[in-house]
Amino acid sequence: MNPEENQIILVDKPAGISSFGVVAKIRGYLRAKYGHKIKVGHTGTLDPFATGLLIILTGKMTKKSNEFLKKDKIYDATLRLGYTSTTGDPEGEITERESEEVLEADIASTLQSFTGTVSQTPPRFSAIKIDGERAYKLARKGADFEMPTRKVTIYSIEILSYHYPELTIRCHVSSGTYIRTLAEDIGKSLGTGAYLTALRRLSIADYHVGDAHPLSDFTS
């Protein structure tokens, strides 16, 4: 195998495509480039509506995927206050709630209460396996099941901008943290409800989106 086939590829994932879709495009690109099939995998999904850093591993590097899954991450997230979503993001059924505009100072105080080690219940529409089946598949079937609670660490949260009902935050979190759940929990704490309208992953440990390739580099 050509050493160049064993790579860590940083991709800036656009909205509207799944992480598996990105993998498929890169796999096709590499197959055309080298003339044979090359193993390709990612190191942690981004939802289709989300953008930002996706680490792709090829060839023998795919054996290191678990090492990347455990790394800390930084995201920019935009929340819409006063509304809820059945999936915690724009793809769900959106419901408007009766709520009043919240002062930025109150939001800042609430965000501070989420820093540190916290308990989090991942969303039902997630890729976590429940008795061997993906939770989102069970949720789509209308199955009755409980999501396991986990401990995660929120190292920091800061407000980037706030114009009610849109709130944009930057959060540095541990592996296993669901930003959709964080958004919903913030909304509950504020008494307004909230869901994610946008999510962008800026970094995974020392890997940064500024060093990533646009997906178009692998579709030409």
pLDDT tens-digit profile of 199-214? 999 999 999 999 999 9
82 and 122 in one domain?
yes
Taking the C-alpha atoms of residue 84 and residue 123, their distance in angstroms, rounded to an integer, is: 13
Lookup: tokens for 182: 């964080």
* Residue 219 pLDDT level (bands cut at 50, 70, 90): confident
116 and 32 in one domain?
no
Q: What residue type is 210 in one-letter code?
A: G
51 and 115 in one domain?
no
For residue 135, what pLDDT is reported? Answer: 59
22 and 82 in one domain?
no
Q: Output DSSP code: residue 3.
A: G
For residue 53, what pLDDT is reported? Answer: 97
Q: 207 to each of 133, 134, 201, how far by Cα in Å? A: 31, 28, 11
Query: Looking at the DSSP assignment, which residues form a beta bridge with residue 119?
Result: 151
155 and 96 in one domain?
yes
Please report which residue ranges of the chain form alpha helices under DSSP H: 19-34, 65-69, 104-112, 135-141, 179-190
Report the domain count for the chain: 2
Mean pLDDT of 5-24: 93
110 and 62 in one domain?
no
For residue 98, what pLDDT is reported? Answer: 85
Q: Per residue in 39-85, pLDDT tens? A: 998 888 898 999 999 999 999 999 888 888 889 999 999 999 999 99
pTM: 0.89
Q: Output DSSP code: residue 38.
A: -
Closest CA to 44 of 128, 121, 154, 118: 128
Q: Per residue in 146-198, pLDDT tens? A: 667 789 999 999 999 999 999 999 999 999 899 999 999 999 999 999 999 99
Q: Are 112 and 122 in contact (CB under 8 A)?
A: no
For residue 150, what pLDDT is reported? Answer: 82
159 and 80 in one domain?
yes
Q: Are 198 and 77 in contact (CB under 8 A)?
A: yes
Residues with catalytic annotation?
A: 47
CATH of the domain at 181: 3.30.2350.10
Q: Output DSSP code: residue 108.
A: H
In the chain, helix, strand, coil percent, each to 5?
30, 35, 35
115 and 59 in one domain?
no
89 and 66 in one domain?
no
Q: Diameter of the chain by CA atoms?
A: 61
Taking the C-alpha atoms of residue 54 and residue 21, their distance in angstroms, rounded to an integer, is: 12
117 and 66 in one domain?
no
177 and 154 in one domain?
yes
For residue 65, what pLDDT is reported? Answer: 85
Q: Per residue in 74-114, pLDDT tens? A: 999 999 999 999 888 998 899 999 888 999 999 999 999 99
Mean pLDDT of 28-38: 91
For 20, the domain range is: 3-70+207-218
21 and 120 in one domain?
no
Tell whether the model's pLDDT for residue 126 goes beyond 60. no
